[in-house]
Structure 1
Amino acid sequence: MTLHNDPLAALGVSRETIQRLEALVALMGKWNPAINLVSKSTLADAWSRHILDSAQIYRLAPPGPLHWADLGSGGGFPGLVVAVLGAELQPGSRFTLVDSDQRKATFLRQSCQTLGLKAQVLAERIDAIAPLNADVLSARALAPLTLLCGFAQRHLSARGTALFMKGASHASELAEARGQWAFEVDIHPSVTEAGAVILQLKGLPHG
């Protein structure tokens, strides 16, 4: 259940974009039994647990055309959702979805084709691909923050923004990461899950 405002209403997206997101839910339901994209228990509430949860980070991205890279895209969250939103709201933007699982990468590619998205899918390890120089780097339930900061150092542009979705343990992860990395952080409460946050990081070491 949404705790605050509907992110999609706040973004003012069109009915066409809503329909694309509904089609994504249908694709997820079709593929999930075979490759376990998300926990089966979340499928009944997929709109809130996955679509709205992912959509809320879009408002934190800088304005204008940009390169958005999503790490560990897996079932498409938040990567496919922000790519759908970007197709309407920032059509000059490009999106890169990274997941080393070949089956999940196939799902991501098929979804991009079905939804009409011009997103690149890389089925490789995050630490093995060439630096992406992304303006925005996102990840959802992927790895501890210390490891995510290392990914950001490699793949985020010098003035880029990292948007990492974290659960109730974010405070301890922040404390540990600050012992190893220098960065600025804004903490945004999740609108879909009590205790969860989006960590908006800037000023991370580059290169």
Structure 2
Amino acid sequence: MTPEEFNTKSGVSRETQERLRLYADLLVKWQARINLVGPDTLPDLWSRHFLDSAQLLPLIPASARRVVDLGSGAGFPGLVLAVMGAPDVHLVESDSRKCAFLREVARVTATPVTLHNKRIEQVPGLGADVVTARALAPLAKLLDWAEPHLAPGGCCLFLKGRGAEDELTATAKEWNITPRRVSSVTDPAGLVLQIEEVRRGRAEP
């Protein structure tokens, strides 16, 4: 996918297009020094990372006032969503080198974000309306991490691959959740899990 094809699919403004191009350029530059993404994904950066992240934006409720991205890594999906206009985005990342990259992208693209350079478990509850994560951990673990940060009525948006259904089955042993499955626009076998109710305890049979 080219940047132009990304722009067509995502419908972003010209200003946002330019900011995302700056982001992509910085990622390629920094990738030579630290491992931000899988090297084999660089040729398809715009689809594998940028569009994959951008597909969450329409799923964020219009009433949302804060988004928390767990294990942000190179900023997917959290920093992409912030560049595209998601409100009050908090990025949680324990790797100091990756945090330095996130800080530089936010500076160069003039994107306001709050960066937490800590392990997820060490961050006090952030009262998020939306918690996001991508390629981070199995669903049950994601819910363990996300639940303390969710505001009442908040939801989770998790990008998942072909094992999503197995993870949902395993999660039912510990969590009572109401998931909505949204087909991924970048991976025919992938899903976005939109979880609008997160409650500890075994689901009712």
TM-score normalised by the chain length of structure 2 = 0.92
Give the AA of the match of 1:150. D
Cα distance in 2, alignment partners of residues 76 and 181 from structure 1: 28
Match of 2:203 in 1: none
Give the AA of the match of 2:150. L
Match of 1:109 in 2: 103
Q: Deviations over 1:101-134 (max 9, x none)?
A: 0100111111111110110111101011100110
Contact kept in structure 2, 1:96 and 1:119, CA below 8 Å: yes
Match of 1:151 in 2: 145
Q: Percent identity?
A: 42
Match of 1:45 in 2: 44
**Offset at residue 83 of structure 1 (A):** 0.3
Q: How does 1:25-36 map to 2 (within 5 A)?
A: 25-36=24-35
SS at match of 1:161: strand
Match of 2:67 in 1: 68
SS at match of 1:116: coil
Match of 1:14 in 2: 13
CA RMSD of aligned residues (A): 1.7
Q: Could you say which structure has the greater relative contact order, defined with CA pairs below 8 angstroms and 6 or more residues apart?
A: 1
Structure 2 gap segments, 5+ residues each? 201-205
1:7–1:34 Cα change, 3 Å: closer
Q: Deviations over 1:128-169 (max 9, x none)?
A: 110011011000000010001111211111111100000000
**Offset at residue 64 of structure 1 (A):** 3.7
Contact kept in structure 2, 1:8 and 1:55, CA below 8 Å: no
Find the partner of 2:163 among 169, 175, 185: 169
**Offset at residue 12 of structure 1 (A):** 3.3
Structure 1 gap segments, 5+ residues each? none
Cα distance in 1, alignment partners of residues 172 and 14 from structure 2: 42
Q: Deviations over 1:33-57 (max 9, x none)?
A: 2110001111111011111110001
TM-score normalised by the chain length of structure 1 = 0.91
Find the partner of 1:137 among 131, 135, 154: 131
Cα distance in 2, alignment partners of residues 202 and 7 from structure 1: 28
SS at match of 2:52: helix
Q: Paired residues, what number?
A: 198
**Offset at residue 202 of structure 1 (A):** 1.2
Find the partner of 2:117 among 111, 123, 138: 123
Cα distance in 1, alignment partners of residues 195 and 145 from structure 2: 13
Give the AA of the match of 1:76. G
